[in-house]
A and B are shown apart, each in its own frame.
Chain A
Amino acid sequence: MTNLLERLTAWWHAYNVYVALVLVAVGLYLLLPRRRSWGRAAGAVTSVIGMGLLAARSPAFAGFFQQGVFWSLAAVTISAAAATVTFRNPVYCAIWFALALLGTAALFFYQGAQFLGVATVVVYAGAILVTFLFVLMLANPKGQAYYDRISWEAWLAAPAAAVLLGVMTVALARGLPAIDPAVPAGSPDFPVPAVSVARAMSQPRVEEILATDHMAHLGGQLFSRYLLAIEIAGTLLLVALVGAVAIVVHEQRSRATVDAAHPTAGHALTPAALAAGRTQHDSQFAGAGANIHE
């Protein structure tokens, strides 16, 4: 077993550049316009993975090899997120958002957060399905709606996003290299809570957060140290449930009053409104019956 694994590893070290090239070629072939239009997204993913593997081998990215997987996942996630924001058709937006979620879940796995990876997929799969149903239900049947074709103040939103990204990235570049165990904690160069950071950097990693009994640790923490937060989260779920019901019921009640005033204007949904509407309705139809069959 170990022998096989070693041989596989050796094979991979010897030939991964060819694998990467084949992936790039296949991806490019799938991307190029052909008679059939399927498989373009798969082609993009494949070529991105291949490019990531290639980039991992390049000497310009020293120490980059282990990051190849990460950068491939990151590229998939980020490009899917960009597609979510930019596509015109909301159905495509939902599908691309699902891909971005899968990328995020894979990034969670890469960090060793197994439960979160699975939970993201499971929870958001349901959410995406519901959103998808909403899109299909509410979509404009006659082509795209006009509001999908124009953006609202895009010339302000794009620079705002760029500035936000720049601020966060510069903060990263300035702040994180300063986290250096050599710098003594509390020095004016590094007034941040340096003690714990320095400890995290200097100690050999206690393999607790990557432990094999991940779920046991996570559940233990969740139901001991964060017990109060769990209760609050449960209350929040209940409040949100009641709120959602209240929104819908309020709307139906307002519609019901409209229906009672004009019985033919819309759909009477509650039984009371149905009954109230029907009596009026019948008395109206006694006189206006001729119009009904037009």
Chain B
Amino acid sequence: MNEISLLQNYLFVGAVLFALGMAGFICRRNMIVMFLCAEMMLQGVSLSLVAWGRFYNDWGGQIMTIFILTVAACEAALALALVMMLFRSSGKLDILVWQYDREENQAPIVDRELPEEPVSDRTHWPELVPAGIEPDQTKLEVRYRRRI
């Protein structure tokens, strides 16, 4: 494989990763999956940078990728903090909950029919049967246990 076809192949793979990540970021509604898709776009760009660095025999590509890693770490910290906050205030990971933040003249997106959950995907969790006698609890403990 000569250098130019190596570069071409890497740019192709990087483009595919970027496009897939973009599609996922646009259309997935789970905030955590959106975060993963954003990371995937960064991966695509990293591949292209490393390929160009190899082609020009220059260290700049790899070093920029190191900076991309840094930015990705920052992004992960902020994004997960935001996801945590948004989840706590709405109880859902759905990004559409926050669509009141859209532009003024945009119509809201309303979900009309929800697809049924396929039976094969359904998880049956084991249920624990209560056993033994109920332990003695002081009044004070019961009062505060409810808040913990």
Question: A residues within 8 Å of B by Cβ?
Answer: 63, 66-67, 70-71, 74, 77-78, 81-82, 84-85, 88-90, 93-94, 97, 100-101, 104, 107-108, 111-113, 115-116, 119-120, 123-124, 127, 130-131, 134-135, 138, 141, 143-154, 156-158, 160-162, 164-165, 168-169, 172, 176, 179, 196-197, 200-201, 205-206, 208-209, 217-218, 221-222, 225-226, 229, 233, 236-237, 239-241, 243-244, 247-248, 251, 255, 264, 267-268, 285, 289, 292-293
Contact = CB atoms under 8 A, between A and B. Distances in A.
30 contacts: A77-B13, A81-B17, A85-B20, A85-B37, A85-B40, A90-B32, A97-B40, A107-B47, A112-B54, A119-B66, A131-B35, A134-B83, A145-B94, A148-B29, A148-B30, A152-B27, A152-B95, A158-B27, A168-B19, A172-B12, A176-B11, A197-B56, A200-B56, A221-B63, A236-B71, A239-B74, A240-B78, A268-B147, A292-B142, A292-B146
Interface residues of B, number: 88
Nearest to A86: B24
Which 6 interchain pairs have the tightest Cβ spacing?
A: A240-B74, A161-B23, A85-B24, A157-B27, A147-B94, A157-B26
B147 A152 contact: no
B57 interface: yes
B8 A93 contact: no
B136 interface: no
Contacts of A233: 67, 70-71
